[in-house]
Structure 1
């Protein structure tokens, strides 16, 4: 028996902060100040305003009921005290919601987990800020109801040296119980860190003991940094816990989602990894899944891919 009497349409997408943060890993404060400016300028060049327009067009075509987004960001630029230079804030959620409304859509925030945040003085004299968060959105006229909203950070996180000082790359998850079309299920959205299998192992344990420790039908989505093509240990732990991978259940062709170039200007996709996943168990079925943001027509007028990563669309019952 299906979990719901009507298909549930869901998208998950790592929207990309707009710049590689790797240059910020530095022991030298003066080097960090110069690199901070370069990172921010790359963010400006990857133009989230235009990318959000491209995403909104895709959402308009597919009309998903629920959306899970990772690497949502707030970038800020603050002049030194006493300066008449302007301060600017770029809030990805505000920008995306504006683009969705322009496309005739309205999505509300169901859950939001705030992740790492930091400010750094740049070589220009400006102070540059970045805050990362993930969200679960629902279409405003979606007939489902949400309860038991949870928003958490992982207790174990990666730490990097930024300007010679330790900086925790705090990430996390959010979840909600959804009652829709005669059924109740749990949806969980998460983002795992790069580079550290041990941290990801701890994050997997936290999820399995936390929001995934339920008898409810469960849909887990997000960006896992596990490359499922290689059947890595953390990926197998979810499969061994009874989860089905929506991509392998429905498709035989590779579902690679990572990675376009950091400037988003590579001519054709060179996606070699599969890190974006829909995983489900306890009664869910899925019979349709495909990638988003991999066709040339999805690019912005300025030739940018909508994200460094492909998104996923799937239906569930």
Structure 2
């Protein structure tokens, strides 16, 4: 028996913060001031305004009920005290919602987990800021109701040295119970860390013991940094916990979604890993799934791919 009496249309997408942050990992304070400026300029060059327009066109075509987004960002540029130079804020959520409204769509925030945040002085005199968050959005006219909303950070996070001081790469998850089309189920959106597999293992344990510890039909989505193509440990842990991978259940062709160059200017997609997932259990079924942002027509007028990563669209019942 299907969980809902009509298909639930869902998208998950890591939108990419717009720049490679690894150059900031250094003990050298002078070096980090120079690199902070370069990182911010790369963010400007990857033009989230244009990328959000490309994404909104895809959303307009598919009309998803629920959207889970990772690496949503707020970048800030703050001049030194007493300067008449402008302050600027680039909020990915504000920008994307404006593009969606321009496309005739309205999506509201159902859940949001705020993750890492930091500011760094740059060699130009400006102070540069970046805050990361993930969101679950629902179409404004979606007929479902939401309850038991949870928004959490992981207890275990990786720590790096940035400009000679420790910086914790705090990530997390959001969950919500949804009653829709005759059924009630739980949706969980998450983003696992990119480098240390021990941190991912700890985060996987937190998910399994926390929001996934339910008898409700459950849909887990997000960007997991575990390359499911290689049947890695934490991927197997989800499968062994009873989850079905929507991609392998429906498709036999590779579903690679990662990773384009950090400047988003690859001539071809060049995707070699599978880190974005829809996982489901306790009665859900899925019979349709495909990738987003992989065709040349999805690029911006400036030739940028909409993200460093492909998104996923799937339907569930």
TM range (shorter): over 0.9
Q: Matched residue of 1:69: which SS?
A: strand
User: Partner residue of 2:161?
Assistant: 161
CA distance in structure 2 between the partners assigned to 1:174 and 1:316 by the alignment? 19
User: Partner residue of 1:122?
Assistant: 122
Q: Matched residue of 1:184: which SS?
A: strand
User: Partner residue of 1:27?
Assistant: 27
Which runs of no fewer than 5 residues in structure 2 stay unpaired?
A: none
User: Partner residue of 2:230?
Assistant: 230
User: Partner residue of 1:176?
Assistant: 176
> By how many angstroms is 1:145 displaced?
0.3
Q: Deviations over 1:143-177 (max 9, x none)?
A: 00000000000000011110111100000000000
Q: Matched residue of 2:86: which SS?
A: coil
Q: Deviations over 1:206-231 (max 9, x none)?
A: 00000000000000000000000000
Q: Which runs of 4+ in 1 moved over 6 A?
A: none
Q: Matched residue of 1:120: which SS?
A: strand
Q: Deviations over 1:28-50 (max 9, x none)?
A: 00000000000000000000000
TM-score by length of 2: 1.00
User: Partner residue of 1:148?
Assistant: 148
Q: Matched residue of 1:12: which SS?
A: strand
Q: Matched residue of 1:20: which SS?
A: coil
Listed as ranges, the matches of 1:55-94 within 5 Å are 55-94=55-94
User: Partner residue of 1:255?
Assistant: 255
User: Partner residue of 2:197?
Assistant: 197
Which runs of no fewer than 5 residues in structure 1 stay unpaired?
A: none
Q: Matched residue of 1:252: which SS?
A: coil
Q: Matched residue of 2:143: which SS?
A: coil
CA distance in structure 2 between the partners assigned to 1:268 and 1:199 by the alignment? 32
User: Partner residue of 1:9?
Assistant: 9
User: Partner residue of 2:212?
Assistant: 212
User: Partner residue of 1:312?
Assistant: 312
User: Partner residue of 1:297?
Assistant: 297
The count of aligned residue pairs is: 317
User: Partner residue of 1:95?
Assistant: 95
CA distance in structure 2 between the partners assigned to 1:278 and 1:180 by the alignment? 19
Superposition RMSD in Å:
0.3
TM-score by length of 1: 1.00
CA distance in structure 2 between the partners assigned to 1:115 and 1:66 by the alignment? 21
CA distance in structure 2 between the partners assigned to 1:316 and 1:260 by the alignment? 28
Q: Matched residue of 2:307: which SS?
A: coil
